Amino acid sequence: MMTDPIADMLTRIRNALQIERPYVDIPASKIKVAIAAALQREGYVWDYEVIEDSPQNVLRVNLKYGPNGERVIQRIVRESKPGRRAYQDLRSMPEVLQGLGVSILSTSKGVLSNREAKKEGVGGELLCTIW
């Protein structure tokens, strides 16, 4: 039994980037698909798809690299953990690397980046930080 499936997803992405894989397969869930959608909207991954061939659906995330093979995602960190939840309200939401990175939040309006959450005027649980 896995205690933190979001951390597992982020670790799989981190490991795939280390060996320069074009994509990574992750066991699918609604929250993981929503995180992949937020990463795509912010330009950190090319795209994603849910493959429904196996008994458990698989989320395939196509990773993004620069023109010379450099990684677009330099660092990806899990912020809120099962033992210590982290929440951000609208007023205390910090900029990540002065706007070069993003935070992914689980809000009442869905999984959003910190930029989208500010536009919507909501806060929520801080899932991860990416730059």
**What is the secondary structure of 20-47 as a DSSP string?**
T-SEEEEE--HHHHHHHHHHHHTTSEEE
Domain boundaries, the chain: 5-130
For residue 97, how far is the Cα from the chain centroid? 17
Which residues face 23 on adjacent strands?
A: 62
Which residues, at least 6 apart from 67, have a Cβ–Cβ distance to it below 8 Å? none
Structure tokens belonging to residue 58: 């698989």
The CATH label, of 3.40.1160.10, 1.10.10.10, 3.30.1370.30, 3.30.1600.10, for the domain at 5-130 is: 3.30.1370.30
CA dist., res. 22 & res. 10, Å (int): 16
Full pLDDT tens readout for the chain, 131 residues: 578 999 999 999 999 999 999 999 999 999 999 999 999 999 999 999 999 987 889 999 999 999 998 999 999 999 999 999 999 988 888 788 887 899 999 999 999 999 999 999 999 999 999 99
